[in-house]
A and B are shown apart, each in its own frame.
Chain A
């Protein structure tokens, strides 16, 4: 069966510090991978998605970036965090395009102080 992991679970970082969040998927190959942010009281905002290694599409211009160094690994990064980067970050995967289901990881709670 497929499993999706995210770490760390919680993170408290000062403004201006770097960020690296990691997501890995097990039990599938060549998944589509997604990073979402969920701010308090708001819906999910799609940040990045990837259809393959090294292929990253950005939905929202910001100081975040994403990379996919391996087929089942997706990394969200920032060189300098802003207060507005605080939120709940969720990684998700689906099998290809079309009518496939999307599955989510447990999330990372990021607080920028």
Chain B
């Protein structure tokens, strides 16, 4: 069964720093990988979707990479802002979606 791990579980950085969140998965036979953001008490907001044939996707200050062969993805956030504070989850899809437990990010003003 596919297992998805996210490290670190929590991260606190000062405003303006660049940061990297990590996601690893055990089965490389995936259709895609998706990064989400979740604010407290809210649903998940899709940030980036990377198809299995792609290496990276960019949206604004966010850049996600995918190395399917090694079972890893990273989410790079440039010039972090307090509004980026949230929990970030990654999910991989084969027949179903498999989620990591998330990284809780706090950006300190």
User: Which chain A residues have a beta carbon within 8 Å of chain B's beta carbons?
Assistant: 6, 34, 42-44, 46, 49, 59, 88, 90, 92, 97-107, 109
Contact = CB atoms under 8 A, between A and B. Distances in A.
Nearest to A108: B43
B32 A99 contact: yes
Nearest to B100: A43
B93 A99 contact: yes
Interface in B17-51: 31-32, 34, 36, 41-46, 49, 51
Contacts of A44: 89, 91, 99
Contacts of A103: 46
Q: Helix, strand, loop or mixed for chain B's interface?
A: strand
7 contacts: A44-B91, A92-B97, A97-B95, A101-B32, A101-B34, A104-B45, A107-B43
Interface residues of B, number: 23
A74 to B, nearest CB: 15
A107 B99 CA distance: 17
Contacts of B46: 101-104
A105 to B, nearest CB: 5
A44 B97 CA distance: 10
Contact of A102 (B34, B41, B95): B34
